[in-house]
Chain A
């Protein structure tokens, strides 16, 4: 569904990605793993068109989107939950959800669906997003991205800074998305979360994919985690 082939990208003169490839299919969770600065967030930003790709190609549902205008990429069906949530803090919860709905012209049924997934948001609709707790903010960020009804969801550290009960809730939602046929690309630091959620992992070092494997393989050879992540 989403295929990233040998992409090079970075911030101006700083080249971060230097030949990264990965792919993800429907009903599959792919986890990008690597140490800090390896290029995981850069990879997601590059796919979303927020950083220029200088070489390589990105195809989505068979269509090349490598140099597509950044605002057109989400309209194709790519949802993105950035690191740190990046909510519109001075918009209400309802307005943040509306921003998600507008992207692909989704209606009231999608709004009701995400509010069923996260009932707590229904109680906070008129509250400013910036005043929510960390967990509620993550719920809103997830709900806002799901409002696109995307085919592929890119999640950048969705459990960062959350309490365990909230982490469990976010995990449940991710697994539900997978069961409903979503393809998910996950950037995550927590090994327990990776082992519980992902089907495949791609290890990244210095902006390159160095090994692609399955989670079952990772469980049987934990030395790989030590080698690539130092854990």
Chain B
């Protein structure tokens, strides 16, 4: 395949990675932004979403679309409720102290991971995509006879991957509407800025924190539901998304949602393109190097604010 079509193929793969990454990182960023909690267990909520998708899909059976739609509705809500419960049970009791929440979420990571291993087993489990038609994509060329379209062999994408990109974009728009146009979003933003003053205006800060922690975990689980038909559900699958989400959130600026979107696109696209042309390991090395450079030259991230 020529370079142009090859690059387009790599960019489409990158767009799929970005789509999953933006949902996962957005969850991490919202939790940090509002609660100032670094949630080390975030990747395990992603993994739980994937495992629940497999469980729901196999339990329901029938056409793959049935199980997938059910998982899309059930898994993020269940994971969100579990996270909100964990917030009440653990994080609230340690008063959201930044140091202790890191240790507590590390504990949550191992509890979720090992409980999943004991119940779900060590095997990787596939979930069939609800639809998976392969679409050939055109390429263009300027030849002696002017502009011409042709269909290079191998330049294609599945309808499911296009759905993943569209679904992530839709969720992002929904999230933006929630945060900027609704009362719930206003309460979340006010709590993020000054929780004590928010309380003086009737905001039940503890309950807002539980909802936000649940929302963050639910977004990670939603990303996992979308990715499982492409990858497989496995009890150790939370590590990579956690690392990439941290990379994205640090590059974008801790707590900055626009920064998170930009960084997710940057990291996802570079991961896709470098993985296709070189190797996935090199893609991770470059992403980590980028984080190091951001921490040295712009510690607040691309769109983060300098601490006053």
Contact = CB atoms under 8 A, between A and B. Distances in A.
B165 interface: no
A69 B204 contact: yes
B253 to A, nearest CB: 14
B1 interface: no
A114 to B, nearest CB: 14
B186 A99 contact: yes
B190 A99 contact: yes
A70 B193 contact: no
B197 interface: yes
B142 to A, nearest CB: 48
Interface in B192-218: 193-194, 196-205
Given A91-B186, A91-B189, A86 B194 contact: yes
Nearest to A75: B202
A22 interface: no
A88 interface: yes
A71 B194 contact: no
A111 interface: no
Interface stretch (A100-108, A181-189, A218-226): A100-108
A82 interface: yes
Contacts of B203: 71, 99
A71 B186 CA distance: 16
Contacts of B200: 48, 50, 70, 74, 80, 82
B93 interface: no
A98 interface: yes
Interface residues of B, number: 17
A74 B196 contact: no
A140 to B, nearest CB: 12
B201 A99 contact: yes
A71 B205 contact: yes
Nearest to A86: B197
B111 to A, nearest CB: 30
Contacts of A74: 200-202
Contacts of B204: 69, 71
B306 interface: no
A interface: dominant SS: loop
Nearest to B204: A71
A110 to B, nearest CB: 14
A102 B194 contact: no
A100 B186 contact: no
Interface string B5-33: 00000000000000000000000000000
B interface: dominant SS: helix
A216 interface: no
Contacts of A1: none
Determine which residue in A102, A144, A148 has the highest number of CB atoms from chain B within 10 A of its CB, and name it.
A102
A6 interface: no
Contacts of B189: 88, 90-91, 95
A50 B196 contact: yes
B186 A95 contact: yes
Nearest to B203: A71
Nearest to A48: B200
Nearest to B207: A71
Contacts of B190: 88, 91, 95, 99
B186 A82 contact: no
Contacts of A100: 201
Contacts of A102: 183, 186-187, 201-202
A71 B202 contact: yes
Determine which residue in A88, A95, A100, A103 has the highest number of CB atoms from chain B within 10 A of its CB, and name it.
A88
Determine which residue in B193, B200, B202, B205 has the highest number of CB atoms from chain A within 10 A of its CB, and name it.
B200
A89 interface: yes
Contacts of A86: 194, 196-197
A164 B183 CA distance: 37
Contact of B193 (A49, A50, A69, A89): A89
A161 B190 CA distance: 25
A82 B198 CA distance: 12
Contacts of A88: 189-190, 193-194, 197-198
Interface in A54-71: 69-71
Interface string B271-282: 000000000000
A135 B248 CA distance: 40
A103 B201 CA distance: 5
A86 to B, nearest CB: 4
Interface of B: 183, 186-187, 189-190, 193-194, 196-205
Given A71-B202, A98-B183, A102-B201, 18 more contacts: A48-B200, A49-B199, A50-B200, A74-B200, A74-B202, A80-B200, A82-B200, A88-B190, A88-B193, A88-B198, A90-B193, A91-B190, A91-B193, A95-B186, A98-B186, A99-B201, A99-B203, A148-B201
